[in-house]
Structure 1
Amino acid sequence: MAESMKGLKRTHRCGELSLSNVGEGVTIMGWVQKNRNKGGLVFVDVRDRSGIIQVVFEEGSMDKEMVEKAASLRGEYVVAVVGTVSKRAGAINENLSTGAIEISPIELRILSEAETPPFPIEEASKTKEELRLKYRYLDLRRPDLQRNLMMRSDVATLTRKFLADEGFLEIETPILCKSTPEGARDYLVPSRVHQGEFYALPQSPQLFKQLLMCSGYDRYFQIAKCFRDEDLRADRQPEFTQVDMELSFVDVDDVIEVNERLLARIFKEILDVEIATPFRRITWQEAMDRYGSDKPDTRFGMELIDVSEVVKDSGFGVFTQALELGGTVRAINVKEKGSLGRKQIDKLVDFVKDYGAKGLAYIALGEDESMRCSFQKFMTEAQLEELTKACNAEAGDLLLFAADKHKVVWDVLGALRLKVAKEMELIADNTFDFLWVTEFPLLEYNEEQERFVAMHHPFTMPMEEDLELIDKDPGKVRAKAYDIVLNGNEIGGGSVRIFQNDIQEKMFELLGFTKEQAAEQFGFLLDAFKFGVPPHAGLAYGLDRMVMIMTGEDSIRDVIAFPKIKDASDLMTEAPSVVDEKQLDELGINLNAK
């Protein structure tokens, strides 16, 4: 039967005690992790978020009823223990921070009994994630998840402190917003008062933070909830958290400088890792040409090699046709993997088809200077020698080639170099490799919609030296945009914003908006711009993704308290769910579910 904690007050968390507390009277409260009954000697491990401490109940030295009560304890019972800290009588447990001490109790109270959990509450659980997410409140008791969430809290607290000290104001922006057509799909919220009309949940606070700059708030930040109705993967959730900021009277270098100092402070204080500043910077074009990715992992080499000039006169149609259509031929050199068998190479061919490739050409060089080549009959010996030389190939190397449109080749080889590097264990663990990717294209052409779309958003400033290209060749215009990349993950991105009406109007025109459509969607922002708008720029981090990397996890679900699964549902609460007809009637909604 559960007892009251009346009269008791916790003095310490379990993991806070140490040898310096020996001889002190303490009261701890927590969950029973283990109970080992050795016959008249009962060892109980009590756990809270700070750690575990051992409590020893021994017949003869204390009340027999208390020892019997201790023997009745089961895993996940909630208990309060009053006692004295003493040195361990037995062997020290090196795996526990409290492994050199134990508590000799004088009182034990069972505050809450517990059924047997559906899975063990332990680190590095092997239980299927679906079951753990269904009982997430139990999963969150595991020490590794608790450490993750405590680190997340520490990162958020430190970020707030740093930005406040830098003169930023924390200002909340609305959750119920106006739907805008650009970007990802909105989550919509029907209005009861304005039937037939909808709010949208914010994909970011973008428009509001720009309005705050118009309002003179100079430096804004917010740890903001954002929502996107898009397909999920390991580093994406339908609702996520941004560290969002905007600054007035700044340019690219100003935003980068303050954020480098913020990141250096976070990694030093949270992980005790020194991060050298300034970070490297590479342009988007260089990132794509060298790594096939706008978020390149530069902890290893295996860079893309452009061999278009070398193969343009070859007899291999796959290469020459791609070049005739304005594409490219590129390769990666996988060192010391020339012995890879045909079946293993075929698996790589299957892998790249998911990235748009029709196939994958290869040259495998043996240690004995032999050659296996998938297109050998189409090229002369001299051409093959020139090609391997262009790839800096040596005996034992494997050369993998992709030929297609630039985007397909970048996607294919960018993904392939990552896959091969992971399989070959070329990526150094416990390293944090930061770089900025700058000068993104302002626009990208959407072939399905047959129009240009903004690569970031419609308010991104073109680079001044490219303004003359806006009418002549808009696809070549670069943006004053910048992404911060960590270990091959984009953890944040931002840009300098357009603040001149003529450039903003031209941007909307390029995106296919009429003046009337632009006014309908963004009129409140455009109106604000009529009353004096400062030059401004900003950036937002994905807090979940950054903490995921800091904790060494593979999924952001492991750093979010109550995440969704791939179909955007919550296994614990069973959301989304059917609602009453009465609620739908109040909203004026009739369902026509597919």
Structure 2
Amino acid sequence: MYRTHTCGQLRLTDAGTAVTLAGWVQTVRKFGSITFVDLRDRYGITQLLFNENLNEQLDKQPLGREFVLQANGIVHERSNKNVNIPTGEIEILVSEFKILNKSAVPPFTIQDDTDGGDDLRMKYRYLDLRRNAVKRNLELRYAVNRAARNYLHEKGFIDIETPFLIKSTPEGARDFVVPSRMNPGQFYALPQSPQTFKQLLMISGYDRYYQVVKCFRDEDLRADRQPEFTQIDCEMAFVEQEDILNMFEGMIKSIFKQVKEIDYSEIVERMTWEDAMWTYGNDKPDIRFGMKIGNLKIPSTIFLNKQEVLKASPLGKGASGFPVFDNAETVLAIAVPGCADYTRKQTDELTEWVKRPQIGMQGLVFIKYNADGSVKSSVDKFFNEQQLKQITATCEGKPGDLILVLAGREEKTRKAISELRLLMGQRLGLRKDTEFKLLWVLDFPLFEYSEDDNRWVARHHPFTSPKPEQIDVMINNNPVIKDAADYLNHPYSNIKANAYDMVLNGNEIGGGSIRIFQRELQEKMFAALGMDEEEQQQKFGFLLGAFEYGAPPHGGIAFGFDRLCAILGGSESIRDFIAFPKNNSGRDVMLDAPGPIDQKQFDELQIKLDLK
């Protein structure tokens, strides 16, 4: 027997017990005739005491960091207790030991405050996984997985696996493709999601399905993306949107309770996509803090049914005399609480921040709404005090606030003011990792207009149903767009999707929709996306055919499992919660993958590589 107990198990109540421990040497501390060794395993650390009798043996068999060690001995009360670890009241008086395996000197220290950089730790990921910080992340990931499965099992869902080798139907991100040796010149694709399979399972009568499943997308990476990632993928039959929202609010609240001991009892707020864009500048708003956006000028493009609200805006449709505002498509502002005392240096720094290429604005206008009620602005010569206070009121500014105003092209300005809002929220400590705020965003546009192709593209995916009251609008109108100027007036531009996203702390953690389940409507959707009948049959004939055999109404949702774990763990990067992640170039630096393959494999696949 290699061990009777783990290194995190023993307590003072075990004093006098004979035990055998096994693990990795964390530290070795020699004090004259005695030596202390911290022995570590997955469960914790226990101090070993080697007395004078064993020191001679240690001199002959010296221990090094990360040696694999087995030790027999008696549990003893420590004289110098360590209150920072659960085993800190005891130590093991070692009677005999055995080095099970030696270790080379690790390339970085295996402790929480390691001296290893990201690249080095990823190269030696099997060593990095020994660190407590990483271990806690993987334990949290397992706890989230277990909590989700327990909830779904209790609600009658069944876990059904779906294939990884499927047909390429490029409509979203790029597919990873896999050549088929037995079918020369033909390729599988790795699934971006199990979307069509879970719809087929609904048609098959499995009315509550889920998977914790790998998905694959060949897209540019950043901290919250990986080429392979995990979803909690779910689908239900004979449901409406309200059923989905209630079911999966329950799942996330159950995860909070089981994993974080948080009783999330408040009502989850619901917000339309249009209101999210108006109020926060993006469709996944962080509602842990206010700082809502004020719209100072009527926009010229989208959000048509909001224009009447803005007719009384401070800038209206007329000229202000300030060219930056007059020539802009939109002018947006936020009120930053308690920052009216910002210095010139601080406002200049913010101006430079919005000018960065990642943000892309030409400049920043500020208004200081002083505590005494007076206003001071960088555009004083263009606006009088009354006008400045009108602007301040539009974004709900109060005495003591700093009003920040951006102007320019609508899409860029909206994105920039959203990023500026998040920056100021972070600086003011309003985005706490320990606070969690859920939100449903509803009523997304069903379509987006592709200017490059002069056609509609699906905002979510081509299986999303329009709102029930707009199905006739979609079926009874021609999807063809005459020209770029025509798309805003086209009936399809106002069709809302029967879709929903769950947002947590400004991150989309889940998204789904009620699906199309009638063949006629699905064909109409494909036609709107530019697919003729032949292409529809070639790509999705199996699904259209299945709709002929009694497809039930159904809908579902998929949660970004890695991202949910990262948020619950207080991290911005999903890589911290994946055992063996890729770097930002999509490489596994530990395996040195991707890599070349042998010419024999190319020959078997009948593929010729032509690198230019």
TM-score of the two chains, using structure 1 as the length reference: 0.93
Aligned residue for 2:361, secondary structure, equals coil
Paired AA for residue 279 in structure 1? V
Aligned residue for 1:467, secondary structure, equals helix
Q: Counterparts of 2:578 and 2:113 in 1: how far apart (Å)?
A: 16
Match for residue 22 of structure 2 among 29, 32, 46: 29
Is 1:316–2:309 an aligned residue pair?
A: no
* Aligned 8 A contact 1:40 1:67 in 2: no
Following superposition, the deviation at residue 380 of structure 1 comes to 4.1
Q: Could you list the runs of 5+ residues in structure 2 that have no partner in the other structure?
A: 298-312, 478-489
Which residue in the other structure is 1:244 paired with?
233
Alignment of 1:75-224 (within 5 A): 75-88=65-78, 90-224=79-213
Is 1:18–2:11 an aligned residue pair?
A: yes
Following superposition, the deviation at residue 480 of structure 1 comes to 1.2
Following superposition, the deviation at residue 581 of structure 1 comes to 1.6
Following superposition, the deviation at residue 197 of structure 1 comes to 1.6
Q: Counterparts of 1:16 and 1:265 in 2: how far apart (Å)?
A: 29
Per-residue Cα deviation, 1:108-137 (whole angstroms, up to 9, x for no partner): 110000011011000143421111111111
Following superposition, the deviation at residue 170 of structure 1 comes to 0.8
Per-residue Cα deviation, 1:242-281 (whole angstroms, up to 9, x for no partner): 1111111111121222212222222212221111254221
Match for residue 445 of structure 1 among 449, 469, 476: 449
Which residue in the other structure is 1:487 paired with?
505
Per-residue Cα deviation, 1:16-43 (whole angstroms, up to 9, x for no partner): 2222322222221110001111121110
Which residue in the other structure is 2:484 paired with?
none
Following superposition, the deviation at residue 349 of structure 1 comes to 3.6
Paired AA for residue 10 in structure 1? R
Alignment of 1:342-491 (within 5 A): 342-353=344-355, 354-366=358-370, 371-470=375-474, 471=477, 472-491=490-509
Following superposition, the deviation at residue 63 of structure 1 comes to 4.9
TM-score of the two chains, using structure 2 as the length reference: 0.90
Paired AA for residue 321 in structure 1? N
Which residue in the other structure is 1:332 paired with?
334
Paired AA for residue 548 in structure 2? K
Q: Counterparts of 2:573 and 2:66 in 1: how far apart (Å)?
A: 27
* Aligned 8 A contact 1:45 1:53 in 2: yes
Q: Counterparts of 1:245 and 1:277 in 2: how far apart (Å)?
A: 24
Per-residue Cα deviation, 1:62-105 (whole angstroms, up to 9, x for no partner): 555555467x11110001112222211x2210111100111122
Match for residue 9 of structure 1 among 2, 15, 20: 2
Q: Counterparts of 2:210 and 2:370 in 1: how far apart (Å)?
A: 57
Between 500-509 and 563-572, report the one with greater CA deviation.
500-509
Following superposition, the deviation at residue 385 of structure 1 comes to 3.5
Q: Counterparts of 1:553 and 1:66 in 2: how far apart (Å)?
A: 45
Between 482-491 and 383-392, report the one with greater CA deviation.
383-392
Q: Counterparts of 2:458 and 2:383 in 1: how far apart (Å)?
A: 42
* Aligned 8 A contact 1:66 1:108 in 2: no
- Residue 350 and residue 206 in structure 1: after superposition, are their counterparts in 2 closer, same or farther (change >3 A)? farther
Q: Counterparts of 1:175 and 1:166 in 2: how far apart (Å)?
A: 27
Per-residue Cα deviation, 1:342-364 (whole angstroms, up to 9, x for no partner): 45434434443524534333223
Between 469-478 and 72-81, report the one with greater CA deviation.
469-478
Per-residue Cα deviation, 1:145-186 (whole angstroms, up to 9, x for no partner): 011111211221232222122111111111111111211111
Which residue in the other structure is 1:578 paired with?
596
Q: Counterparts of 2:378 and 2:55 in 1: how far apart (Å)?
A: 81
Aligned residue for 1:14, secondary structure, equals coil
- Residue 69 and residue 281 in structure 1: after superposition, are their counterparts in 2 closer, same or farther (change >3 A)? farther
Aligned residue for 2:381, secondary structure, equals helix
Alignment of 1:275-286 (within 5 A): 275-276=264-265, 278-286=267-275
* Aligned 8 A contact 1:438 1:481 in 2: yes
Following superposition, the deviation at residue 465 of structure 1 comes to 2.1
Following superposition, the deviation at residue 205 of structure 1 comes to 0.6
Aligned residue for 1:376, secondary structure, equals coil
Match for residue 530 of structure 1 among 539, 544, 548: 548
CA RMSD of aligned residues (A): 2.0
* Aligned 8 A contact 2:444 2:497 in 1: yes
Q: Counterparts of 1:446 and 1:21 in 2: how far apart (Å)?
A: 70
* Aligned 8 A contact 1:159 1:266 in 2: yes
- Residue 347 and residue 445 in structure 1: after superposition, are their counterparts in 2 closer, same or farther (change >3 A)? farther
Per-residue Cα deviation, 1:442-469 (whole angstroms, up to 9, x for no partner): 1112223322211110001111123344
Which residue in the other structure is 1:5 paired with?
none
Following superposition, the deviation at residue 341 of structure 1 comes to 4.0
Following superposition, the deviation at residue 239 of structure 1 comes to 0.5
Per-residue Cα deviation, 1:546-575 (whole angstroms, up to 9, x for no partner): 111111122111110111111101111111
Per-residue Cα deviation, 1:511-531 (whole angstroms, up to 9, x for no partner): 111122121111111111111
Per-residue Cα deviation, 1:369-398 (whole angstroms, up to 9, x for no partner): 665534333334443343233334344432
Q: Counterparts of 2:550 and 2:414 in 1: how far apart (Å)?
A: 43
* Aligned 8 A contact 1:58 1:67 in 2: no
- Residue 253 and residue 385 in structure 1: after superposition, are their counterparts in 2 closer, same or farther (change >3 A)? closer
Q: Counterparts of 1:248 and 1:239 in 2: how far apart (Å)?
A: 28
Paired AA for residue 493 in structure 1? G
Q: Counterparts of 2:133 and 2:438 in 1: how far apart (Å)?
A: 26
Q: Counterparts of 1:359 and 1:445 in 2: how far apart (Å)?
A: 29
* Aligned 8 A contact 1:30 1:80 in 2: yes
Q: Counterparts of 2:434 and 2:393 in 1: how far apart (Å)?
A: 35
Instruction: Give the total of aligned pairs.
Output: 579
Which residue in the other structure is 1:54 paired with?
47
* Aligned 8 A contact 1:548 1:556 in 2: yes
Q: Counterparts of 1:248 and 1:461 in 2: how far apart (Å)?
A: 14
Is 1:44–2:37 an aligned residue pair?
A: yes
Paired AA for residue 274 in structure 2? Q
Paired AA for residue 599 in structure 2? E
Aligned residue for 2:530, secondary structure, equals coil
Between 333-342 and 564-573, report the one with greater CA deviation.
333-342
Aligned residue for 2:164, secondary structure, equals coil
Per-residue Cα deviation, 1:312-344 (whole angstroms, up to 9, x for no partner): 33222332333xxxx432210112323434454
Paired AA for residue 495 in structure 1? S
Aligned residue for 1:224, secondary structure, equals strand
Aligned residue for 1:378, secondary structure, equals coil
